[in-house]
Amino acid sequence: MNKTPFLILTVVLCLLASDNAEARRKKTRQARRPKGPPPTHPMVLWAKTLNESQDREQRRVAAYKLSQYSVNIVHSQVVDAIVKCSSDEDQEIKILCTKALSHSGSQANAEPIRKVLIERYKKDPALKDTVVRAFIVRKDTSQAVQDAFFDELTKTGTTLDHRLVLLSYFEQFGVGNNKLVDHLADVYHKDENIRVRRAVTKVLAAKAQGQDVAIGLFAQCADAKDTPLSLTCLDGLKSQAKKDGRVWGAVEKTIQSNDPDVLIATLDVINALPEYANPAISQRLIEVIKDTEDPDIQEKATLALGIAGDHSELVVEALLKLIDDKETEDSVKIASVLVLGRQAVVVSEKTAELLAKCLKENNTQALKTACQLATKELETRKKTAAKEEKAEKAPAAIEPPATQKAQAKEADESTKTN
């Protein structure tokens, strides 16, 4: 009798039994394993201290440790302890626990924690700043949070520091709708504190969507005496008012500034706008180009002439001087050549000579390319002007009198009838 199949079957059954036994042992180990951190985990001990200790210093230290914990706290026992102590009688402990709520809870219990924080915000003035900062850390953009902060932002009794904290929240998480814009504009006009006004315009520049109220405020504060405020307002105009006529009235004022930061910001605004000949700005840009020794300002001012230049002889002369000056930076020369192609109405002999010279001399390839483009543009413009002049000089076709037209029409109809 062959015993081989029997032995094989026995071995297989033994292996299966061994695997099943190991699986059962693993399942048992997992069932016995406690869920969450072990009882000796530091944050569990801190939570226990908060709930049970009568020693104020121990509880304060435990609250501080939880507020500084680097990992999000999701263990329910610990979260419950933090929520409870966020309304503690001891002010320092409740502030620390409220701070700990900024990194407590999972996605599942985000709503209950939000409700707790909003409740603390509305009822306890000592927690207001801490609650706002907690929502910033939690990146909470819910409408319930925004509505609570809107109401506080426009209250007459809101402190300066708290108003600034609120504005820092809206700068990061505000929704740039009409409601936010109207609230912020209201705050700007009612609160003359320069720090608040800077913060308000910073939020509007980041979040507004070109609303009429926002652009009106930017145009008003662009020439403010405070440089940071002026810069923020100019930034708002640059990003949101490209098609609004008020931007030109604002930059006509700020272009006169002697502050280099305001001047550069103004040039950046002009260079972001569509072309619009403005004699007042054009004249000022020529002055800036002549007076400045900063190549960055000179280049930006030259490019701005391509936007706001009035195509006058003064503009062309200023550009030709920059191109011909050996001390002019290459970047400024390139800008000058390109703008010349758009600003020169009549191609003078001097203009043609300078462009030809530019192409022949040992210049950089970028400068030569700019000269080629300017030459082509001027040649195209010259041909177009010649065609228009020829069309104007051509004699107009003589129209026959009305009676002759009528007679011709009758004769034509009679011929068709016959």
Evaluate whether residue 339 is within a structural domain. Answer: yes
Using the 3D structure, point to which of 274, 307, 333 is the last residue of a domain.
274
Q: How many separate domains does the chain show?
A: 3
Dihedral angle sign, alpha carbons of residues 349, 353, 359, 360: positive
Give the model confidence (pLDDT) of 322-379 as tens digits.
988 888 899 999 999 999 888 887 777 888 888 888 888 877 888 888 888 888 888 8
pLDDT score at 77:
92
pTM, to two decimals: 0.77
pLDDT score at 92:
96
Evaluate whether residue 28 is within a structural domain. Answer: no
Name the residue with tokens 């693993």: 26
pLDDT score at 371:
86
Assess whether 251 and 289 both reside in one domain.
no
Q: What average pLDDT does this structure show over 124-139?
A: 96
Assess whether 148 and 253 both reside in one domain.
yes
Residue 60: other Cβ atoms inside 10 A: 17
Instruction: Count Cβ atoms within 10 A of the Cβ of residue 217 and give its class: 0-12 exposed, 13-18 middle, 19 or more buried.
Output: buried
Mean pLDDT score of the chain, rounded to an integer? Answer: 86
Which segment of 46-50, 212-216, 327-331 scores lowest on mean pLDDT? 327-331
Distance, CA of 308 to CA of 374 (rounded, Å): 18
Picking from 341, 219, 221, the residue whose alpha carbon sits closest to that of residue 211 is: 219
Assess whether 240 and 327 both reside in one domain.
no
pLDDT score at 410:
57
Q: Which backbone phi and psi does 217 adopt, to 5 degrees?
A: -70, -45
Evaluate whether residue 20 is within a structural domain. Answer: no
Give the model confidence (pLDDT) of 378-394 as tens digits.
887 777 766 766 676 66
Domain span at 160: 141-274
Give the model confidence (pLDDT) of 77-122 as tens digits.
999 999 999 999 999 999 999 999 999 988 888 999 999 999 999 9
Evaluate whether residue 21 is within a structural domain. Answer: no
Choice between 16 and 340, residue whose per-residue pLDDT is larger:
340
Q: Is the predicted pLDDT of residue 29 greater than 80, yes or no?
A: no
Give the model confidence (pLDDT) of 134-148 as tens digits.
999 999 999 999 999
Assess whether 164 and 249 both reside in one domain.
yes
Which segment of 29-33, 77-81, 268-272 scores lowest on mean pLDDT? 29-33
Q: Is the predicted pLDDT of residue 28 greater than 70, yes or no?
A: no
Give DSSP secondary structure letters for 360-417.
HSS--HHHHHHHHHHHHHHHHHHHHHHHHHHHHHSPPPPPPPHHHHHHHHHHHHHHHH
Give the model confidence (pLDDT) of 222-251 as tens digits.
999 999 999 999 999 999 999 999 999 999
Assess whether 284 and 242 both reside in one domain.
no
Evaluate whether residue 382 is within a structural domain. Answer: yes
Q: Tell me the CATH number at 250.
A: 1.25.10.10
Would you place residue 418 in the very low, low, confident or very high pLDDT band (cuts 50, 70, 90)? very low
pLDDT score at 101:
96
Strand partners, 73: 104
Supply 271's token pair: 């260079």
Assess whether 146 and 266 both reside in one domain.
yes
Residues 6+ apart with CB under 8 A from 140: 110, 114, 173
Assess whether 150 and 206 both reside in one domain.
yes
Asked whether the beta carbons of 158 and 186 are under 8 A apart, the reply is no
Evaluate whether residue 93 is within a structural domain. Answer: yes
